Structure 1
């Protein structure tokens, strides 16, 4: 078995130093750079997942808060994106009427806050659209996709990951919105 005599000049994607690659698909100058890039990518993926889960938690909380007429100071912070100090200062100056029901039980009228600030409702709208995608008639399972388009289930999963299509797992079933799958597998 012969070895390749190719010497392709490339730049390492991690350390950005020039090196001579023996294959066209080589991306790193050494195993060390490859492992470091892998660790960096795992860390970035972990940070993205943490931010996404935090956003989901906050959007659920915002949807719950928006139904009540009186909210606490900490809930006003979440809903309007302003600091506690600002709310307390507005209460102290009399610009926002508040009711104190005990230690750390200050409640303010959402109506009065809406006159001063606009609510951060973009998170709620995004969540409502996402929930609409996962309604009963709007989803496929992985097996349904593979049967309909005669593709291997692992191929379907790879396409979903590659295109970053949102999924929802219920029990052992993974649901994918039909509109994304139809755009990819059956473009018209």
Structure 2
């Protein structure tokens, strides 16, 4: 393949540095970046092959473990993603059933572990009905009225309104707040 006189701006796929490529097919800035990328590719392929062979090797054992009622602590850690200490702690607390058959021969009931990870039904919360604010003349307080009625500092009242996200309406220099919402807060409801 011939070289062109064009300089094609590219970014190296290995080191992410910009460089000028001489061909359209160039992916790496230097030979060392090319070699590093090749080594990484081979390493990933090797790991994938090892993983597949390991899975094929233990496929029957995995199927056997999934059919047994009692499994070892090590098998439980692999199957359920728990640490050995957690499994032993659950046995001591009585959360799961465990049987000690001798030194390092603790067996746990698989169904107990499966029940730990079953779906938990959450009680449905009641829908909160949000009242629309009523900003009519007789149904609102001003900040100064609230502070004089409930003996609170105007800054405290303002912070309370912001914290509870109470809607306000500003008319001129007055800020109006619905009476029903303020009364609920100061009544402790």
> Please, what TM-score do these two structures have when normalized by structure 2?
0.51
| 2:80 pairs with 1:80 | yes
Answer yes or no: is the 8 Å Cα contact 1:62–1:79 preserved in 2. Answer: no
Unaligned runs of 5+ in 1: 119-188
Name the CA shift for 1:64/1:21 in 2 (closer, same or farther; >3 Å).
same
RMSD (Å) for aligned C-alpha atoms:
2.6
Residues 97 and 109, structure 2, Cα contact 8 Å, conserved in 1: yes
Deviations 1:132-156 (A, max 9, x none): xxxxxxxxxxxxxxxxxxxxxxxxx
Alignment correspondent of 1:171: none
Q: How does 1:1-188 map to 2 (within 5 A)?
A: 4-54=4-54, 60-118=60-118
Contact 1:58–1:78 (8 Å) recurs in 2: no
Go from structure 1 to structure 2 and tell me whether the alpha carbon gap of 1:86 and 1:3 turns closer, same or farther (over 3 Å shift).
closer
| Residue ranges of structure 2 left out of the alignment (5+ in a row) | 119-189
TM-score (norm 1): 0.51
Q: Residues 88, 28 of structure 1: CA spacing in aligned structure 2 closer, same or farther, 3 A cutoff? A: same
- Higher mean C-alpha deviation, range 101-110 or range 7-16: 7-16
Q: Which has the higher contact order (CA 8 A, sep 6+)?
A: 1
For residues 24-45 of structure 1, what are the alpha-carbon distances to aligned partners after superposition, in whole Å with 9 as ceiling and x for unaligned? Answer: 1111222222112212222233
Q: Cα distance 1:17–1:117, how it changes in 2: closer, same or farther (>3 A)?
A: closer
**Count of aligned residue pairs for this structure pair:** 117
Asked if structure 2 preserves the Cα contact closer than 8 Å seen for 1:7 and 1:22, the reply is: yes
Name the larger-Rg structure: 2
